[in-house]
Chains A and B, each alone.
Chain A
Amino acid sequence: MAKREREKNFDVEIEEKNSVKVLNLRGYLDAYTSLKFEEVMKKLVEGGSYKLVVNMKNLSYISSAGFGVFMAFVDEVRKNGGDIKFCCLSKKIDEIFELLGFKHIFSVLNSENEAIKSFEKVRVKNVKGRKK
């Protein structure tokens, strides 16, 4: 049981890279831990961070409530010119993304750097767009 308890923990680490906030998720994102994660996201978004990369390398489980957290913020983030992008999914989580149709809503990238860079491209594009 001890093992299970440990697995049920959830933790987020936030780093800032090139004005992109990288969220390293770790552990078990279920109906309970998603409440905590929602608080974290809320603080970030309310604090004006709209460019978010979610690194799921160390995430062992995600439930529908966990996905719900991203759904709750994606509109506001996009409205403010940002986005939520995912990277480094495990095979299992990648499959859930696929089944759920999440890949049609969010962009999923292979590495953290790619995800961060993809924001730069958007910026360049935007700049160009404005010049036009």
Chain B
Amino acid sequence: MKDKNSNTFSLGQILLALGFAFVLLVITLIKKTFPFPAFDVVSDVLSLTLLITLILIVQPFAQKFEKNPVDGIKFISIFLFALVGISFAFKNLIGIQKVGEFTTLATYVDVISANIYNLIYAFLLSIVFSIFLKILFHERGREAKVKFIITFSYFAIFELSRRIFELPNLLPQLLGGFQIILFMWISFRIPWVISLSKKDKYKVLLFSFLSILFSFLLQSPFVTGSAAEGMRYYSDLFFSFTHFYFQPFLIIYFFFVFGSVIFHLPTGEIYERRVTELSTLQNIGKLVARVFDVKEFSEMSVKIAMEMTNSKSAWVEMKLSNSTQIYGRYGIEESEMLKIMEQISHVKEKFEGVHFKEGYHIDNFEGKIILIAPLVAHDKTLGLLYLMRDDKNYNQDEINLALAFAGQIAIGVENSRLIQESIEKERLAREFELARQMQKKLLPKSLPISEKFEISALSVPAFEVGGDYYDFVIHEDGNISLIIADVSGKGVSAAFYMAEIKGVFQSLAKIYPKPVDFLAKMNDTIFEHIDKKFFITLVYAYFDLKKDVVYIARAGHLPPVLVKRGTLKFLKLSGAGVGLMPTHSFRKLIKTLKLKLEENDLLVFYSDGIIETLNEENEEFGYERFERAIISASDKCSDEIVNSIHNELTSYQGEMQQVDDITIVVVKWKK
């Protein structure tokens, strides 16, 4: 409801206005018979209230011209014309007579016509006045409002004093003259004229001229004649407001508008060009958001840049990750373009470097003018925009425009790169997720249970999956083979190699349980059969449960830890990574350790992720902390030992991201 009210004329206000008009009719009729001055005051007050009510009624209509002065002036001139029309019509409908030096209306019918005339007049005037105020305050701040209040107060005081005091000769003229100066003072600045298009300027010229003309006509007794007398009879104040305040104000304001438009007419073309340029840039901006293909985007932009800067040929040289590409070549042969680029290749240095922020280069080539604008985004020069034409030098406007286009292209290119990057990131994240799933499936689901020993294991994959792997084989005689390995590489490729190792381990360990045989066979399957870059480090342990003996060999992996009777030892056995060298050399390096196991002996197998875990100061967890963590937990059961080491590690790591897989396998001998 509220919305509706604000957009349409309110019925209540209209009824109120009609009420005032009716009372005025009654008063003016009484006044005809009893011409007391008190009635004049009453009719003045009433007509003023009526006018204010009418102004309030027409506000929703005037609102439409809030930001549209051109249409506002058009409507003002139309309504002024209507005012002239009705004044001219009523001129002959209202009869007047002279009583002494006073002019008054002839008959009661004249009084009624005068009332109708004034009501229509007041209604039209309220519209004109409301629209006029919108135009007057358009693009102006408080200053205009303050000035308006001053001119209006001046008018009010002037009117009041004119009625109360007998003003001496010439003073009213003088005061009236000052009112005119006030009008000039308020009308002096018309900011909205500058930004008009040429077409609008011509419109404004026409309508402001018409408004001036109609206002003059309304002032003229030849047009209004006895209609004006009717108004004076109706309300002297209303007459003064229209004839001494509002119409002069209109004339002066529109005179200033007219002059201002004339003055700014030549700038119209430049302004219009600016608008086109801006909208083109904006369109490119939209393009930036839509087109992710660098080539397509740059070709479109280069073409527009060429046209907007009045160039004959254009192209853009784009620096991509490992090459330079030419996009959007227009109006020039490739051979000539290459010749020019070779000739001015030294210029490029100017645009390189971290400190380069802005600038351009103008060069000559066989009588042609070349303008080079760098594509700068995020302080990086991504490429160069070349614009070329035959004779005329580029002016500052065109240079600025070229730079703006270059900037837009750069942003577009950068955006597209960022999008590609995020797509790539997304792809990697999915790849890593897949790798983590694979790794999880490759690790044993349960660990062997034996009365001889406890075994516990923990493997925490890093986001990128580091390729840690552990597994075991239970032989037919009940003995157990354990492996802990780190496959080189990350992500899916690491997971893929892990799967391969799992196959090799599960099949070979059953046939060749002894470490050297197993590792030699494994090296056979890996060396020169998989990518040269690829190798594995691992520790292999074969537990003979009947003899309480373990055979351990180390192939390049971090040395396993043995805790025997409270003493900790790193088993730095000779050995090399699997897949690094031919088996005959590899076999010679591998040394097996045979170890008799007793109750409470502890073996800890682990990956480099543990040793290399960084804390917030960027220091590695290292061997010493690892040693201490093992020793302090060595009395506990294997599960607790694993947990205790892991807790130690996570608290050391703090807020740092885990970069590599973490794997621990603990074997504790029972008897």
Contacts and interface: CB of A to CB of B under 8 A. Distances in A.
Given A65-B489, A67-B488, 7 more contacts: A4-B656, A63-B488, A68-B489, A71-B580, A99-B557, A99-B559, A100-B577
A122 interface: no
A104 interface: yes
B575 A101 contact: yes
Contacts of B576: 100-102, 104-105
B378 interface: no
A15 interface: no
A99 B556 CA distance: 5
Nearest to A61: B612
Contact of A68 (B535, B559, B572, B585): B535
Given A31-B489, A101-B575, A75 B589 contact: no
Given A64-B488, A64-B489, A71-B580, A104 B585 contact: yes
A69 B533 CA distance: 6
A25 B321 CA distance: 22
B436 interface: no
A127 B559 CA distance: 43
Interface string A67-107: 11101100100000000000000000000000111101100
B581 A64 contact: no
Contacts of B110: none
12 contacts: A3-B618, A31-B464, A64-B489, A67-B488, A68-B535, A69-B533, A71-B580, A72-B533, A101-B581, A104-B576, A104-B581, A104-B589
B210 interface: no
Contacts of B486: 64
Contacts of A104: 576, 581, 585, 589
Give 3 closest A-B pairs by Cβ, nearest first: A101-B576, A68-B533, A64-B488
A101 B577 contact: yes
A7 interface: yes
A100 B537 contact: yes
Contact of B580 (A4, A69, A101): A101
B490 interface: yes
Nearest to B322: A39
Contact of A99 (B532, B535, B558): B558
A4 B616 CA distance: 9
Contact of B556 (A7, A31, A71, A100): A100
B288 to A, nearest CB: 29
Contacts, number: 64
Interface of A: 3-4, 7, 31, 63-65, 67-69, 71-72, 75, 99-102, 104-105
Contact of B535 (A3, A31, A71, A75): A71
Main secondary structure of the interface of A (DSSP, over half): helix
A102 B580 contact: yes
Interface in B565-603: 572, 575-577, 580-581, 585, 589
Given A65-B490, A101-B576, A71 B618 contact: no
A4 B656 CA distance: 10
A75 B614 CA distance: 35
Among A31, A72, A100, A101, the one with the most B-chain Cβ atoms within 10 Å of its Cβ is A101
A32 to B, nearest CB: 9
A67 B580 CA distance: 10
A101 B488 contact: no
A78 B585 CA distance: 17
A75 B580 CA distance: 11
A68 B640 CA distance: 37
A31 B490 contact: yes
Contacts of B489: 31, 64-65, 68
A101 B556 contact: yes
B314 to A, nearest CB: 34
B334 to A, nearest CB: 29
Nearest to A8: B659
B39 interface: no
Nearest to B614: A4
Interface string B523-537: 000000001111101
Contacts of A67: 488, 535
Nearest to B620: A92
B625 to A, nearest CB: 15
B556 A68 contact: no
Contacts of A99: 537, 556-559, 572
B238 to A, nearest CB: 77
B618 A105 contact: no
Given A99-B556, A105-B581, A64 B589 contact: no
Nearest to B659: A30
Contacts of A75: 532
